[in-house]
With several copies, the nearest count.
Chain A
C-alpha cells in the first residue's frame, strides 16, 4: 500500500482532478443527482447534449431494459444553448468539478456556431462533440459514420474554440480506427469512445417496438466488451488521449478501460442502476492504484500485457 496515488489526468489540455466523469445524457445537468451522491467528487460532468435551439425529443416510450443493459431513444430533448446557459450552467458553475458540454447539430455549421458561442462562456471547461446525429444536409447518415464528415465537424469546432475539444465516436462503423485517424487530424484534445450501439427491441406478445422511435442506442454492461475493443484499437493506432465509455459500472471496469488505453473514463447508464456508481469507481480506482503501488493513475494508461 503506497500513499494516496495521484489521480490527476490529462486529456489534451483538459486537466481533471480524477479520471472519472459521468457520461452525456445519463446525468442530466448535474443537479438532478445532487444529494443522491457526491457530485463534487467527480472528475467532470458531461452534460446532456445541447443543440442551438431547444428540442422536445422522440416519442414515448424512450427507454427499454435489455439483457445487461438498456436501449434509449431519448433523442435530443434539451433546453437549447440559451436555456442551458441561463438555467443549467449557473448550478454547474458552483460545482468544483469540471464541466464538459456535449454538443450536437444538424449541420456542420450548427456545430461551429455552438462551439463559437460556448467558447466565450465561463464555467464551460471543455466541449464534447456528439457526431452520432443525422447529417440533415446529407441524407440523414450520421456525421460519425464517415471519416471525412466526422473530420469536418471536428475541424469546424476546433476552428471556433480554444477550449479543450473531445470528439465522441460512434461504434456503428466498419472501422472506428479510420474515423479516429481522420478526426484527430483536426488537432482536437481527445476522443470519447464509445457512444451507444444501434439496437432495437420488440414486445414479442404485441409486436410493438419497445421504443416509440423504433430503434435506439444500446448501453450498459452488455456493450462493455465492444467499448474496450474500440479503446484498445484506437489507442494502438492513434496519438491522442482517449476517454473510455460503455458499460462501466465498477472500478474494475474502469481499470480495464484505462489498461486498454483510456486516460479517463465515463460512467453512463450505471448511474441509473445506482446513483453513486461513479463515486464508487473513483474510490475503488484510488484504492486499486494504491494497492498495486502505482503512484499515478496516468501510469496505468495502456498497461495491457500482451
Chain B
C-alpha cells in the first residue's frame, strides 16, 4: 500500500498491433520499480481538460524496464480505451500505482493462460519468473491473430508460447482452454502453478481443468473500479462469502477462493 504513487509520466513510445491493440511505454520509475506481476495502475484522467470521461481506467502492468519504464497493453474496447489508443508520444499522463495484490509464485513451473488483453499481467509474470530461472509456458488465445501482441521477446528469453485463435488465423483453431487441457493431460503437473487472466467463461473453464488435475490456480479478476485504491468499496465481489475488494485484496485471487 505504501508503495503506490500518483505521478505524471511521459509517454515514451506507442506501438500499435492491429487496429485495436496498443502498447504504451511510460517513463514512470517510481511505479515501475515498485511493481510486481499482477498489479495494475489507474490510468487517467483520460483527458485532463474534460470531466467526461470522468474516471480513470484500471490497466494491468504488462512489463517494466530497467530504465524505469512501464509497459501497458491496451485493447480499445469502449470509449475510454479508444481515447487511450489515440494517445501519442510525448504526452504526459497521470497514473496511480502499482495497485493491488499480484501473483504469488514460488513454483518451478509456471503455466500461464491468457485470453485477449488478459495476457498483459502474465507477460510481466513470465518475465520475472524467467529471470529467476523458472520454466514458463504461456498459452495465449485471442479472437484473431491481428488482435495479438507480439511476444517474440518473451520466446527469445525461453518462454514457450502457444497460440490459439477463434478463427484459426494463427496457432490452434479454437479456445486457449483446449491447449490447457491438452497440456495438463500430457505433462506431469506437480510443482506447477497455473496463472490465468481473461474473460470469466475462460477463467471458469481453466478452473475446471485445474481442479480436475489437482493443479494450483491463481486468477486475475476484473470488475468496474472507481478508485482502484480500496477506498470506495465499489469493486467488491462476494468471494468465499466475504465482500472482497478486487482492487485491494485482488485482482489476483486463488482459484479455490473464487470458484469453490
Tell me if B229 and A32 are in contact (CB < 8 A): yes
Tell me if B54 and A36 are in contact (CB < 8 A): no
- Chain A residues near B233 (CB, 8 Å)? 25, 28, 48, 57, 62, 74, 77-78
- Chain A residues near B231 (CB, 8 Å)? 26-28, 32-33, 48, 271
CB within 8 Å for A271 and B236 given contacts A68-B51, A70-B55? no
Q: Which of A222, A271, A274 has a CB less than 8 Å from the CB of B45?
A: A274
Tell me if A72 and B51 are in contact (CB < 8 A): no
Tell me if A220 and B227 are in contact (CB < 8 A): no
CA gap between A198 and B55 in the complex, in Å: 19
- Chain A residues near B90 (CB, 8 Å)? none
Main secondary structure of the interface of A (DSSP, over half): loop
Q: Give the A-binding residues of B (Cβ under 8 A).
A: 1-6, 44-45, 51-56, 80, 94, 96, 223-238, 242-243, 248
The smallest C-beta distance from B74 to any residue of chain A, in angstroms, reads 17
Tell me if B51 and A35 are in contact (CB < 8 A): no
A-B pairs with CB below 8 Å: how many?
Answer: 119
Q: Which of B1, B44, B243 has a CB less than 8 Å from the CB of A273?
A: B44
Task: Check if A96 is an interface residue, CB within 8 A of chain B.
Answer: no
**CB contact list, A41-58 vs B, under 8 A:** 48, 56-57
Main secondary structure of the interface of B (DSSP, over half): loop
The smallest C-beta distance from B110 to any residue of chain A, in angstroms, reads 30
- Chain A residues near B236 (CB, 8 Å)? 56-57, 60, 62, 74, 77
Closest to B242 in A: A56
Task: Check if A64 is an interface residue, CB within 8 A of chain B.
Answer: yes
Tell me if B224 and A64 are in contact (CB < 8 A): yes
CA gap between A69 and B226 in the complex, in Å: 11
Tell me if A272 and B5 are in contact (CB < 8 A): no
Tell me if B52 and A274 are in contact (CB < 8 A): no
CA gap between A261 and B123 in the complex, in Å: 46
Tell me if A62 and B235 are in contact (CB < 8 A): yes
- Chain B residues near A68 (CB, 8 Å)? 51-52, 54
**CB contact list, A213-243 vs B, under 8 A:** 220-222
